[in-house]
Amino acid sequence: MTDKILKAMTPKRKTAVNGKSPAMTYFVVLAAYAVLELCIKTGIMSSHLQGLLVPMVYYAIVAVGLNICVGILGELSLGHAGFMCIGAFGSAVFSLLTDGVLPDGLRFLLAFLVGVALATLFGFLIGIPVLRLNGDYLAIVTLAFGEIIKNLLNALYLGIDENGLHASLSNQMALGLSPDGKMLINGAMGVSGTPHDANFTISMVVLLIALFLAQNLVHSKHGRAIMAIRDNRIAAESIGINIVRYKMQAFTISAAIAGAAGVLFSHNISTLQASSQYFGYNVSIMILVYVVLGGIGNLRGSVIAASILYLLPELLRGLNKYRMLIYSIVLIVVMIFNWAPAAIAWRENLAAKFKAARKENV
Amino acid sequence: MALLEVNNLCISFGGLRAVDDFHMTIEKGQLYGLIGPNGAGKTTVFNLLTGVYAPNEGRIILDGQDITGHKTIEINQDGIARTFQNIRLFSQMPVIDNVKAALENQYSYSLFDSLTHLGKFRQVEKEITERSMDLLKVFDLDRFAETLASNLPYGQQRKLEIARAMATNPKLLLLDEPAAGMNPNETAELMKTIELIRDKFGITILLIEHDMKLVGGICERLTVLNFGRVLCEGPTKEVLSNPEVIKAYLGDE
Ligand SMILES: Nc1ncnc2c1ncn2[C@@H]1O[C@H](COP(=O)(O)OP(=O)(O)OP(=O)(O)O)[C@@H](O)[C@H]1O
Ligand SMILES: [Mg+2]
């Protein structure tokens, strides 16, 4: 059923969505970076808005990750906030453990790798049983996974002292930390004191790397196999494509990218809590909305949709009463622009005209 | 030695014996037809040969190797490729990528190379593209290389499915009603294509078809299936003039 829904949600186009030129995507991201950076440097941008930039970018990154799963592989995941959560907590704990021990740059680089590795591992572990099945199991299992991870981390107490790591699921006292021990995860209070290693520039670099990997994947042998499975599993099998292997690869990469966004999350916030507001299923669904509105399988669209749809409600805070109204209207307009056959035809016509004009100029 | 030897193949779905005691011998290089009325079990035979279903009984020997019970993916590597009665293309991918996807097991580079486009990526991709273009040219599809598969005209979609199957370098090609839904012109063109690939690639072809002009025109031998059982078998001319066969098609008077 999932594939039918996803198919119904994929607009009929003349050309492959994934065929979009990768160079253009990097250009859009770099141009946006230059403009925003200029606004910061010249002091035009309010500090409130500046504070929204890093979250905007990490949501764009998760959206790219989720689009690999939903758009390229054609499997629905409702637990990408869970992978983000794992990346966030894993890297935050690592940073706390090594704070003051390692030089800042190296510490963040390693924390980044730890967060990504953990998310990859969990993606792999979930994939092993679920991706062997054909059906809607992934959506259900990832939904449960996201909630379990969040609740588990909410109840987890983790500390370290000279005797090593102590963990408990009941309370802080049960850890029995010695006086000079250090709390790492304090139950629902979460992780505090993670160094602020993430900033706008670093986040943009991570976004570019994620886009680079994702777009390269699409235009490669592995990507073709993954998309072949998406388009027709039975035909893919008939030409000797190993279904489970490629599904695992796509899903694991997708989880890894969500983990990378999580690392940026935890290194941009003073107190990291596994609350529903940040890592609940509603967040997973919000990311899915970015992907759907940006265009399933359209990586550049994911970045643009995530950025606009994340910033919009925040920017509209001043308009209190009308805020959600305007937000809804924008959702509908974007939906129509992206999905209505007439709008697609119009856009493709326009693009063709541009191309023709450019040829004439040369 | 025969390329394909099938003996006593049986499968039941619930109480229905869809295929019963099926047997068939195909020599290398032959163009062989499998015919029979609707619901006779022809597609089910293809599904048995390609491991979509495991037979309840019977043996399938391909080129001297027992492939009974192999999975679909292995069967493709054993040397059988197929097309489908209801076209199954990778519809959201360009025509050329449909063929490239089928080269999957013949060219390799690592996932890391895929993600970074480093290492062997450039060289191997160049070879893959050349091979795919060559194949598309054989089927006169090269001018559609960048078209989305779902936007191809119907007749070309059927040809693309054959091209994709051929890309896996099979010893035996199974075509399930390749002319279904085609107009006479398209059918005539298809017949030429089928003969061309048999001659150019020296490949053995087994096809299911209802179009008797096509069957009579290109098949050398036929097996007729009726209610899951082999009704008769032999050279095309003999089979088509067999009163039993005519009765099976026209029904009892
Ligand atoms: N997976 C299945 N489960 C149950 N019954 C099946 C299955 N596959 C095929 N059958 C039945 O087996 C019989 C043979 O079907 P098959 O599709 O092989 O016929 P066919 O000869 O290809 O017919 P057509 O010319 O219409 O394509 C039919 O009665 C069909 O309903
Ligand atoms: Mg059939």
**B119-176, pLDDT tens digit by residue?**
999 999 999 999 999 999 999 999 999 999 999 998 899 999 999 999 999 999 999 9
Residue A358 banded pLDDT, cuts 50, 70, 90: low
Mean pLDDT, to the nearest integer, of A185-214?
A: 93
Task: Work out the minimum CA distance from A228 to partner chain B, whole angstroms.
Answer: 6
Asked if B73 has any chain A CB less than 8 Å from its own CB, the reply is: yes
Q: Can you tell me which residue has the tokens 């006779």?
A: B40
Mean pLDDT, to the nearest integer, of A300-309?
A: 92
The per-residue pLDDT for A2 is 61
What's the ipTM?
0.93
Neighbours of ion ligand 2 (CB under 5 A): B 43, 85
**A277-294, pLDDT tens digit by residue?**
999 999 999 999 999 988
pLDDT at B183 over 70: yes
Asked if B43 has any chain A CB less than 8 Å from its own CB, the reply is: no
Q: How far is CA A316 from CA A46, A47, A321, in A?
A: 14, 16, 10
Task: Work out the minimum CA distance from B39 to partner chain A, whole angstroms.
Answer: 21
Q: How far is CA A197 from CA A109, A113, A190, A210, in A?
A: 10, 14, 18, 19
Return the residue whose CA atom lies nearest to atom 25 of ligand 1.
B38
The per-residue pLDDT for B252 is 55
Pick the CATH number of B1-79+170-253 from 1.10.150.120, 3.60.21.10, 3.40.50.300, 3.50.30.10: 3.40.50.300
Per-domain residue ranges for chain A? 2-315, 323-362
Asked if A68 has any chain B CB less than 8 Å from its own CB, the reply is: no
Q: A155 and A172 in contact (C-beta within 8 Å)?
A: no
pLDDT at A177 over 90: no
pLDDT at B76 over 80: yes
Which listed ligand is nearest to B225 at the C-alpha? Answer: 1
pLDDT at A222 over 70: yes
Return the residue whose CA atom lies nearest to atom 31 of ligand 1.
B39
Strand partners, B25: B5
Asked if B106 has any chain A CB less than 8 Å from its own CB, the reply is: no
The per-residue pLDDT for A135 is 76
Was domain A2-315 assigned CATH 1.10.3470? yes
Mean pLDDT, to the nearest integer, of A15-39?
A: 83
Ligand 1 center to residue B43 CA distance, Å?
7
Residue A8 banded pLDDT, cuts 50, 70, 90: low
* DSSP string covering A198-225: --HHHHHHHHHHHHHHHHHHHTSHHHHH
pLDDT at A4 over 70: no
**Mean pLDDT rounded to a whole number for chain B:** 92
Pocket-forming residues, ligand 1, beta carbon under 6 Å: B 13, 16, 18, 36, 38-44, 85
Minimum CA–CA partner of B49 in chain A: A238
pLDDT at A173 over 90: no
Cβ-Cβ contacts under 8 Å, B125 against chain A = 220-221
Mean pLDDT, to the nearest integer, of B82-92?
A: 95
| Closest-CA residue to A67 (of A231, A200, A227, A203) | A227
- Is B89's CB within 8 Å of A237's CB? no
The per-residue pLDDT for A217 is 96
Q: B226 and B248 in contact (C-beta within 8 Å)?
A: yes
pLDDT at A266 over 90: yes
Ligand 2 center to residue A283 CA distance, Å?
47
Percent of chain A's residues with pLDDT above 90: 61
- Is A241's CB within 8 Å of B73's CB? yes
pLDDT at B237 over 70: yes
pLDDT at A11 over 70: no
Q: Which long-range contacts (CB under 8 A, 24 or more apart) does A329-332 make?
A: A331/A289, A331/A293
**B28-68, pLDDT tens digit by residue?**
999 999 999 999 999 999 999 999 999 999 999 999 999 99
Mean pLDDT, to the nearest integer, of A217-239?
A: 96
Q: Give the DSSP H or E segment for A148.
A: helix A137-155
Residue B200 banded pLDDT, cuts 50, 70, 90: confident
The per-residue pLDDT for A136 is 80
The per-residue pLDDT for A17 is 56
Per-domain residue ranges for chain B? 1-79+170-253, 91-164
Mean pLDDT, to the nearest integer, of A218-242?
A: 96
Task: Work out the minimum CA distance from A210 to partner chain B, whole angstroms.
Answer: 10
Residue A16 banded pLDDT, cuts 50, 70, 90: low
- Is B52's CB within 8 Å of A17's CB? no
Residue A361 banded pLDDT, cuts 50, 70, 90: low
Strand partners, B149: none
Q: A250 and A69 in contact (C-beta within 8 Å)?
A: yes
Window 166-225 of A, Cβ < 8 Å to B? 212-213, 216-217, 219-225
Atom of ligand 1 nearest to the CA of B37: 25
Asked if B91 has any chain A CB less than 8 Å from its own CB, the reply is: yes
Mean pLDDT, to the nearest integer, of A166-188?
A: 84
Asked if A51 has any chain B CB less than 8 Å from its own CB, the reply is: no
Asked if A236 has any chain B CB less than 8 Å from its own CB, the reply is: yes
Counting one residue from chain A and one from chain B, the pairs whose CB atoms sit within 8 A come to 115
- Is A213's CB within 8 Å of B116's CB? yes
Which listed ligand is nearest to B40 at the C-alpha? Answer: 1
* DSSP string covering A293-311: HH-TT-HHHHHHHHHHHHH
- pTM of structure: 0.91
pLDDT at A18 over 60: no
- Is A241's CB within 8 Å of B117's CB? no
Atom of ligand 1 nearest to the CA of B47: 18
Residue B116 banded pLDDT, cuts 50, 70, 90: very high
The per-residue pLDDT for A252 is 97
Mean pLDDT, to the nearest integer, of A130-142?
A: 89
Go through B30-67 and write b for each residue having 16 or more CB atoms within 10 A of its CB, e for each that does not: bbbbbbbbeebbbbbbbbbbbbbbebeebebbbbeeeb
**Mean pLDDT rounded to a whole number for chain A:** 88
